[in-house]
Amino acid sequence: MEMGSSSTEKFYRIPKGKGPHSVGCTDLMTENAVEGSFLRLYYPSCDATDNEEAPWIPDKEYYQGLSDFLNMYRVVGERLFQYYVGSVTCPAKSNAAFKLGEKYPLLIFSHGLGAFRTIYSAICIEMASQGFIVAAVEHRDESASATYYCKKKSISEPREESTSNMEKEWIYYRKLKTGEEERSLRHKQVQQRAQECIKALNLILKISSGEEITNVLNSSFDWNSLKDSVDTSRIAVMGHSFGGATVIESLSKEIRFRCGIALDAWMLPVGDDIYQNNVPQPLLFINSEKFQWVDNILKMKKLSSNDTNKKMITIKGSVHQSFPDFTFVSGDIIGRFFKLKGEIDPNEAIDISNHASLAFLQKHLSLKKDFDKWDSLVDGIGPNVIPGTNIDLSPAEPE
């Protein structure tokens, strides 16, 4: 791409889906305020040349939340994010018409700490382009940088005639209080997160069964077009970091999730009861090279001992931020400084992760696709991938 060929041309781009389907996306928020569901749906779409690409970070409040999470002054953070990524779009067409004609497997996606529903679009779009409906949940457990629900404006508040009678009530990231024990907070949050994943699953199945739903966000998307669109026997859950712990918690609570994929999972929030009762469903751990440590890996191994359907691979040269989209929209200097980029090309790292995920999903959801061409990656065989972990787990030698 030529620099400066057009003022709107982006040099840094979130990669497009490589599968056979065009991809659309739309946001859905149900009623009942904070207890409702909030998600971004990515789906196979009709070719929509007229529809614009969806905004990547849709409200300035997300910049403020990211600033809080990164311990920056909001006024500084908001300007920086606006300058660097304010015009970034994700390569999915906003409210494009849903592609009818087949039943698609369903994937529920859970974001990491300080993240939100829109910033794993490279993964979600790739999955949708390969024929999945993907519901990326925005969690309201105070682990997102920012999120909101809609509430009715009070009568006393002035409003212009044209605007809606709803207003956004924002919920920002909650920092640990002084002296607070992290594990108990995170365990409480992961239980709420799992419930939100199950709630999202129920909501999509309700829509697919033909039930009418109310979306409190104004959009032109026709939710009735999703009737009979979900293959209800083929449902999986996927997430990154805190979202990886959420995958494990969700699998243990909901048998309709037939398998799970945990991207660089953070195991601290997972409750002791999960290890005792075990998780029966197949589970793939895809780890980065630079994030993991002994205790975290041992917890993964404890969960997957003697189960050949539990797999672990590590992507060489990758970092914890190789999975969210920031790795694609940052230059090399900023990317390296903030550890948004590893030594591996970001596109190669996400391809390894996505291909291994697709092969794993084909096997455990019994899909009739050609994703089995990537089966070797699930066993950690191929360029820039290893089986298991790069972490040395041998006990320290006594002095």
Q: Which residues belong to the active site?
A: 241, 264, 320
- CA nearest 354: which of 155, 157, 122, 164? 122
In this structure, which long-range contacts are made by residues 339-343, counting pairs with CB atoms below 8 Å and at least 24 apart in sequence?
A: 339/290, 342/288, 342/289, 342/290, 342/317, 342/318, 343/317
Q: DSSP letter string over 179-220?
A: T--HHHHHHHHHHHHHHHHHHHHHHHHHHHTT-----SS---
Q: Three-state SS for 109?
A: strand
- CA nearest 229: which of 94, 107, 100? 100
Both tokens of 392, joined, read 């040395």
Q: Are residues 109 and 123 in contact, defined by beta-carbon separation less than 8 angstroms?
A: yes
Q: Are residues 304 and 284 in contact, defined by beta-carbon separation less than 8 angstroms?
A: no
Instruction: Give me the phi and psi of 44, to 5 degrees please.
Output: -65, 130
Q: Which residue has the tokens 């090309």?
A: 345
For residue 129, how many C-alpha atoms fall within 13 Å in the half-sphere facing its CB?
A: 18
Radius of gyration of the chain (CA): 21
Handedness of CA 378, 382, 384, 385 (dihedral sign): positive
Cα separation, 56 vs 391, in Å, equals 34
